[in-house]
Structure formats: structure tokens, C-alpha cells
């Protein structure tokens, strides 16, 4: 690697193992953090990362601010450097953390976007189910709407995770945390019909073995586990077709699920458990969404508003 000395290269490899194994970071977050640190190490060039002081780190932050990153991206880049030096301090490679005093930029509070139940039904009803893949797609979207699971959790589902007799599914969320989520009868029916009929026909020309506990529930046209990108594309195609004036992602289904539960009086702790949020503060954002919705209804309906 250009501009990267052997020590820095080794520190980066060790850091990657640390955040994946010990800190339980998701692969996606670990990749972003390592990319941030790689950029930083290339910038300091032949200087050893163990000889960097606070002013050097601050100089780097001033340098990357020229690129007009979003506040969230800049905050992550600073957090990456802090975590990296926290790791080096733990390993006794540095005497102190030169990034500890860096101020994180305040993140703008953006409320999650969500769909009304009518908009969700409009999307679901426009999934063509006259092909095995189409029926699979309908089962997927029904499941996202019924459970609020992350798209990565859905992609990772195996047959051993299903307990449909009790309307339960086990999922592995961020940091491989296990939780049980609940499924509506309607979503369960679509899922069962997909498993019993459409699944073996999705992969044309490929013989699909009888599933074992470790077999993926959702497969692509070659019989392998369906990837999250395909699920995103399915939603994009439908939204484009029905000309829904909103950007809709699998995560918007998750936001919609949480918002409607809270609007209908669900306890915040229950929603936290169903979503797999480590902290209730992550779930509380949905109460703001509901409040925003309440204000809109109030302003439309009240004669003096």
C-alpha cells in the first residue's frame, strides 16, 4: 500500500480483528471504519501512527473538512480515529489517545420517513405473484411490513429460525444479537405458500435439495441465498411502477412498522424488543414521528388551527 509503513499496516489489520471480534461491529461498519483509518494512515504517510499527537489529528480533520462530507460521515470518521487510538492505547502502543479531545459535529436530527398503511397496501398489491420469484417477492415484503426486521436479517433467515406454528421467527441482528420477532397470520400464510410451492421453482433449471435447518429461506434464481440488493431492487421497481412520490427502501418498511405500532398504542419497550434496538433512545425517535403526524391531523381537522 502506497504511503503505508509495515507497522501501520499491521496496526490496521489488528484493529480490524478487534472491532469485528471483540467489539462485535457489523461487517458494514467495520469496513467503513477501516476505510476511514486507511485514509488517515495514508495521509500521515511515513509518520508512525504511534507518533501522532492531537495537533496532527486536528490538522487531518481540517483537511477532510474541505471535502464537504455530510455531518454524519464526518462524525463517523472522527469516531473511527478515536476508536483506533483507543485500541492502540489498550495495546500499550501509545501513551494517550490523541483523538479523545476531538469534538464530534452535531448530527442533524432527521425523522425517519414512513409509509401510511394505504401506501404499504398499494405497494404489496402491485407485486406480480404470477411467477415463483414474484410470489417470493410478495412473501418478502409482507414479512418486512409485518415484522419490521432489517433487510440483512431477512436475507440471513434459515429454516431453523422459523417457528411458524407459534407465529415466531428468530433473527440475528447487529452484533449477532439474537431475538424473537412475531409474524402476522397474513404474512405467515404468504411465507408458508412460498416455502411449499414457489421456493423450489425460483431457481429455473437447478435442482433444489430439500431444505435443512441451515438452508436459506429466500433464494435467488441460481438457488443461493437471496442478497439484500435484490430485495432493494424489487421495491424500487414497484415504487417506480405505481409512481409513489417517495423514496422507499426496506428500512422505510421498518420505520413504518414501528411508527404504526406506536400510533396504535404499543408500549415503547415492546417496540424496542421487536426492532432489536440496544437502547430505548433509538426507539424514541418514532414517538417524534407520531407527534409530527398528530400535529398534521390536528392542524387539518381543528377549525381554529
- Which residue numbers are catalytic? 150, 174, 251, 254, 277, 286
Cα–Cα distance measured from residue 201 to residue 279, given in angstroms and rounded to the nearest whole number = 41
Sign of CA dihedral 76, 81, 86, 87: positive
Query: Are the C-beta atoms of residues 37 and 29 closer than 8 Å to each other?
Result: no
Size of the chain, expressed as the number of residues it contains:
305
The values of phi and psi at residue 57, to 5°, are: -65, -45
Smallest CA-to-CA distance from 81 within 25, 46, 39, 27 is with 39
The values of phi and psi at residue 109, to 5°, are: -80, 110
With a CB cutoff of 8 Å and minimum separation 6, the contacts of 152 are: 228
With a CB cutoff of 8 Å and minimum separation 6, the contacts of 88 are: 11, 49, 50, 94, 97
Rg (CA), the chain: 23
Cα–Cα distance measured from residue 245 to residue 124, given in angstroms and rounded to the nearest whole number = 16
Amino acid at each position: 500500500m502506497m504511503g503505508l509503513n509495515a507497522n501501520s499496516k499491521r496496526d490496521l489489520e489488528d484493529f480490524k480483528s478487534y472491532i469485528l471480534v471483540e467489539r462485535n461491529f457489523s461487517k458494514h461498519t467495520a469496513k467503513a471504519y477501516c476505510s476511514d483509518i486507511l485514509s488517515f494512515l495514508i495521509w500521515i504517510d511515513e509518520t508512525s501512527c504511534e507518533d501522532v499527537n492531537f495537533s496532527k489529528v486536528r490538522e487531518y480533520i481540517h483537511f477532510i473538512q474541505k471535502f464537504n462530507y455530510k455531518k454524519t460521515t464526518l462524525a463517523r470518521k472522527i469516531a473511527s480515529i478515536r476508536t483506533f487510538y483507543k485500541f492502540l492505547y489498550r495495546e500499550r502502543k501509545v501513551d494517550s489517545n490523541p483523538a479523545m479531545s476531538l469534538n464530534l459535529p452535531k448530527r442533524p436530527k432527521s425523522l425517519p420517513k414512513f409509509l401510511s398503511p394505504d401506501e404499504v397496501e398499494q405497494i404489496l398489491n402491485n407485486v406480480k405473484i404470477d411467477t415463483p420469484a414474484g410470489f417470493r417477492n410478495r412473501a418478502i415484503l409482507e414479512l418486512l411490513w409485518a415484522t419490521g426486521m432489517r433487510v440483512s436479517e431477512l436475507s440471513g433467515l434459515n429454516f431453523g429460525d422459523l417457528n411458524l406454528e407459534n407465529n415466531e421467527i428468530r433473527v440475528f441482528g447487529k452484533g449477532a444479537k439474537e431475538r424473537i420477532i412475531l409474524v402476522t397470520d397474513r404474512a405467515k400464510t404468504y411465507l408458508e405458500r412460498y416455502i411449499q410451492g414457489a421456493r423450489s421453482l425460483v431457481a429455473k433449471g437447478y435442482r433444489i435439495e430439500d431444505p435443512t435447518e441451515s438452508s436459506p429461506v429466500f433464494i435467488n434464481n441460481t438457488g443461493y441465498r437471496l442478497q439484500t440488493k435484490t430485495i432493494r431492487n424489487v421495491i424500487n421497481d414497484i415504487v417506480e411502477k405505481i409512481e409513489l412520490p417517495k423514496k422507499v427502501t426496506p428500512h422505510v418498511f421498518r420505520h413504518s412498522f414501528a411508527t404504526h405500532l406506536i400510533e396504535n398504542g404499543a408500549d415503547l419497550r415492546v417496540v424496542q424488543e421487536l426492532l432489536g434496538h440496544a437502547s430505548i433512545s433509538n426507539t424514541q425517535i418514532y414517538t417524534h414521528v407520531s407527534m409530527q403526524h398528530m400535529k398534521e391531523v390536528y392542524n387539518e381537522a381543528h377549525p381554529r388551527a
